[in-house]
Amino acid sequence: MLSKSQARSFFLFATVGFSGVFLWLTVDTVRQVPARSHEENMNASVIRGKEIWEKNNCMGCHTILGEGAYYAPELTKAVERRGEPWLRIFLKDPQAMYPGRRKMVQYNFTEEEITDVIAFLDWIGKIDTNGFPAKPDMAPVAVAAAATVTPAAGAPSAVAAPALFTQVCVACHSLGGTGGVVGPALDGVGTRYDRDGLRAWLDNPQSVKPGTAMPDLNLSASDLDALTDFLMSQR
């Protein structure tokens, strides 16, 4: 048993000691914030993106840095996980990316607002969070942007994967065992379509197969040609 004076001394020593440790940890944390958050990269676009995030109450559905609601996906590493092109298409029209399924509100963002939101998410994703969030145990959703594919016999040369494929298509489809699992694998897709049929499918999936989950990406003519050429080489 401690005497009253010993108990008082123990209490005072422990209080002062742990208060000192807490104060030191607080100062050390604040000191590390600028470097760990890459404060120097917080430009005007990032700030505008944060204002858009707050104005539209995005945390009412999403979490970021572990804070927010848990109704929609965690977005701390959204740019790393999906890539800017995919996010840009999705923010422009969430319903188009997931016909009949996605509950994301259509905010009708301008191109500048979409750029600012992506800039904010990109900055957030580069904060040193000691490994948070943990990488999910699922199939990878990206392939090397410089990937090439051996063409069919008689073709003149290898066909390089266009950026659209490596940044958007692989979020749902796989090729050579790498990519998403939402849509069918694209190995050998060039043997299952003729060129005109494949281009029509990429241009407007709903017109070819009403009700399909394949999104209408509103591709330009040049993107359609590049993607069709690449996919037709998969034999």
List the chain pLDDT tens, one digit each, 235 residues: 778 888 888 889 999 999 999 999 999 888 888 888 888 999 999 999 999 999 999 999 999 998 999 899 999 999 988 889 889 989 998 887 776 677 788 899 999 999 999 999 999 999 998 888 877 654 444 443 334 444 444 444 468 889 889 888 988 899 988 888 888 999 999 999 999 999 999 999 989 998 888 888 888 999 999 999 999 999 8
Whether the upstream peptide bond of residue 133 has omega within 30° of 0, thus cis, is: yes
Cβ contact 46:123 at 8 Å:
yes
- Closest Cα partner for 147 from 116, 170, 124? 170
**pTM of the model as a whole:** 0.70
CA–CA separation, 187 and 221 (whole Å): 24
Retrieve residue 73's tokens: 């996906």
CA–CA separation, 1 and 98 (whole Å): 68
- Report the DSSP beta bridge partners of residue 175: 178
CB-count exposure of residue 232 (10 Å: 0-12, 13-18, 19+): buried
